[in-house]
Amino acid sequence: MNQDIKISVVLPVYRNEAMLEELCQRLLEVMKQLNAQPELIFVNDASPDNSWEIIKSLAAKHPEVRGLNLSKNFGQHYAISAGLAHSNGDWVVVMDADLQDVPEEITKLYKEALRGYDIVLAQRQKRKDSWLKKRFSLWFYKLLSYLSGAKYDGSVANYGIYNRKVVAAIVDLPEKNRYFPSMVKWVGFHSTSIAVNHASRESGSSAYNWKKRTNLALDIILSYSDKPLRLAIKLGVLMVILSSAFAIWILIRWIKGDIVVEGYTSLLLSIWFLSGILILVLGVSGLYIGKIFENVKDRPTYIVKEEI
Ligand code: UDP
Ligand code: MG
């Protein structure tokens, strides 16, 4: 370990004004202990509070602090992307800016990385989040693992240390829908995870409400999996098989002369049932077409308004 090693820390900031000062102090202290040259990149995701003012004052005080101000609220994972693209450390740490990811744990992550890993992920030992949130997160990761065919672990989020090679690969990914953990999985490299402490929220409330969280979940599933489309096809095949069997049965009864005038109920039921399935499948395809449309537009993934 020596001063030539540069470690960047990418911090997406949204409504974190109360923690920034302390976060910065503690990060600089950790970097000093590691004897590394730090680069703290605070990415202000159009936070409605005073975060940007505080970042500016931190940057004025400490030469190691840099700030990016996004032109609007793009979302945590877009803020991370912006930070990664502007980082130039040999190692890059990505963490939340609300002090729930404990800065001192970087030491552990870095030491582990030096044993020959490109990626060291932080596994939150005891997640200090509400019961409901942990449930939701568990189901979400289960569903995502099933749909995307890769294993996601709810105790691992964005917090981790990443080698420059990994960061370069992620920055080069062209997709418009950014979800950091998926991109980390996709690029590969030699990776491991270690247990770290997770803190409870000291002030303020989560930037995510249920609507935002559900939207993010849907966005991620659509962006990183085409399994819903395949499930739709399977459903279609199943329907064809079932209705063929039904048709044969009816035909036999008709030939035998069993049918006089009935069928109102079955007719009506099948119309509604089939229409329901049709609309559902159309909806699923529609969602994907929407994603394609988004990518075809080729808009930038984020816009930096100001840099200090
Ligand atoms: N964040 C962001 N943009 C947003 C929402 C959140 O950059 O639109 C950042 C936020 O500043 C924090 C991290 O994402 O650093 C995690 O947010 P939060 O702690 O509110 O989420 P939770 O811990 O509840 O998952
Ligand atoms: Mg948090």
Average pLDDT over residues 68-92: 93
Do the beta carbons of residue 253 and residue 197 sit within 8 Å? no
Question: Within a domain: residue 152?
Answer: yes
Average pLDDT over residues 42-66: 91
pLDDT over threshold 80, residue 266: no
Q: Which of 19, 45, 158, 202 has the most ligand 1 atoms within 8 A of CB, as the residue to mutate?
A: 45
Give the domain range for residue 69. Answer: 6-225+301-307
Question: Within a domain: residue 201?
Answer: yes
Beta bridge partners of 6: 37
- Of 99-103, 183-187, 215-219, minimum mean pLDDT range: 215-219
Do the beta carbons of residue 82 and residue 57 sit within 8 Å? no
- Structure-model confidence comparison of residues 124 and 80, the more confident one: 80
Q: Which of 10, 11, 14, 68 has the most ligand 1 atoms within 8 A of CB, as the residue to mutate?
A: 14
Average pLDDT, the chain: 85
The whole-angstrom separation of Cα 69 and Cα 307 is: 6
Looking at the CA of residue 14, tell me the nearest atom of ligand 1: 11
Question: Within a domain: residue 143?
Answer: yes
pLDDT confidence tier of residue 2, bands split at 50, 70 and 90: low
Closest CA to 130 of 104, 100, 102, 105: 100
Residue 149, pLDDT score:
75
Name the residue with the closest Cα to ligand 1, atom 24: 206
Residue 3, pLDDT score:
62
CA of 41 to the centre of ligand 1 (A): 15
Question: Within a domain: residue 23?
Answer: yes
- Percent of the chain past pLDDT 70, that is, above it, reads 97
Give the count of domains, the chain. Answer: 1
Angle at 230 between CA 229 and CA 236, to 5 degrees: 95
Q: Which of 98, 124, 301 has the most ligand 1 atoms within 8 A of CB, as the residue to mutate?
A: 98
Structure tokens at 195: 């247990």
Residue 190, helix vs strand vs coil: coil
Question: Within a domain: residue 30?
Answer: yes
**Conformation bin of residue 257: beta by default, left when phi > 0, alpha when psi is -120 to 50:** left
Question: Within a domain: residue 177?
Answer: yes
Residue 10, pLDDT score:
95
Residues in the chain: 308
CA of 77 to the centre of ligand 1 (A): 9
Distances (CA, A) of 268 to 217, 253, 261, 281: 36, 19, 14, 20
Q: What is the CATH number of the domain that holds 142?
A: 3.90.550.10
Name the residue with the closest Cα to ligand 1, atom 1: 76
Dump pLDDT digits (tens) for 85-137: 999 989 999 999 988 888 998 999 999 999 999 999 988 877 777 888 788 88
Name the residue with the closest Cα to ligand 1, atom 21: 206
The CB of 79 under 6 Å from ligand 1? The reply is yes
CA of 176 to the centre of ligand 2 (A): 24
Do the beta carbons of residue 39 and residue 58 sit within 8 Å? no
CA of 257 to the centre of ligand 2 (A): 69
Structure tokens at 71: 């032109």
CA of 249 to the centre of ligand 2 (A): 59
- Of 43-52, 116-125, 203-212, minimum mean pLDDT range: 203-212
Whole-model pTM: value is: 0.77
Question: Within a domain: residue 276?
Answer: no
Residue 175, pLDDT score:
83
Mark out the alpha helices in the chain (DSSP H runs).
17-34, 51-61, 76-86, 106-113, 131-148, 164-172, 180-187, 210-224, 227-255, 264-296
The whole-angstrom separation of Cα 52 and Cα 305 is: 12
Sheet strand arrangement including 6-13: 191-196, 119-124, 156-163, 91-94, 6-13, 37-44, 65-70, 304-307
DSSP H or E stretch at residue 91:
strand 91-94
For residue 208, give the ligand nearest its CA.
1
The whole-angstrom separation of Cα 307 and Cα 300 is: 17
pLDDT confidence tier of residue 290, bands split at 50, 70 and 90: confident
The whole-angstrom separation of Cα 31 and Cα 18 is: 22
For residue 17, give the ligand nearest its CA.
1
The whole-angstrom separation of Cα 47 and Cα 42 is: 12
Residue 166, pLDDT score:
94
- Structure-model confidence comparison of residues 22 and 220, the more confident one: 22
Structure tokens at 26: 């503690």
The whole-angstrom separation of Cα 227 and Cα 237 is: 15
Q: What does the CA dihedral 123, 129, 130, 132 come to, rounded to 10 degrees? A: -40
Structure tokens at 217: 């979940």
Residue 167, pLDDT score:
94
Question: Within a domain: residue 71?
Answer: yes
